[in-house]
Amino acid sequence: MAAKKTTGDRTPAAGKAPVTAPAAATAAPPGELAVRPGEDPWTPEEVAEARALMESEVTRLQAELASSEASLVGLMRDSGAGAGDDDADTGTKNITREHEMSLAANAREMLEQTERALLRLDAGTYGLCEVCGKPIGKARMQAFPRATLCVEDKQKQERRG
């Protein structure tokens, strides 16, 4: 029985279970990943490059998230220390705290998307639209490795707002 491996040293988002991927032995062969008609199949080198890019992105995002969370801890600790602050100081502190919270939320979202893309790569569903099931397109996946929707479904989603 193949052991599960994690797709890197992952810190799960608050309240979520750690993300794991099946062992590489269960991953779909590169030539079986979805491509649009007329596109060349994925080569092992292209798959390895996509995986390496996403794994390095996971590492970068984890570091960014840790930094943002550490900054937030400091900002929250200092928020009560300004009893003598005027309104401008208080406003600046609030804006800084909200900005840091936004950065942390964005890094967390991108981390989850990247981890999900790695899981899809291992499962052999990388490059398939999650709405219609059609191939997203190899060129789109290479440009935006976290894509989960084909261009048509992405446009529909954006129009709905």
- pTM for the structure as a whole: 0.72
Q: CATH number for the domain including 96?
A: 1.20.120.910
Tell me if 22 is assigned to some domain: no
Q: Which pLDDT belongs to residue 70? A: 87
Q: Which pLDDT belongs to residue 90? A: 76
Range of the domain at 118: 34-160
Tell me if 121 is assigned to some domain: yes
Number of domains into which the chain is organized: 1
Q: Which residues of the chain have pLDDT under 70?
A: 1-31, 78-85
Nearest to 120 by CA among 28, 57, 17: 28
Tell me if 5 is assigned to some domain: no
Measure the CA angle with vertex 47, ends 46 and 52; round to 5°: 100
**Contact, 20 vs 122, CB < 8 A?**
no
Tell me if 126 is assigned to some domain: yes
Q: Which pLDDT belongs to residue 6? A: 40
Tell me if 68 is assigned to some domain: yes
Alpha helices in 79-161 (DSSP H): 87-123, 138-143, 151-160
Tell me if 91 is assigned to some domain: yes
Q: Which pLDDT belongs to residue 79? A: 64
Tell me if 17 is assigned to some domain: no
Tell me if 66 is assigned to some domain: yes
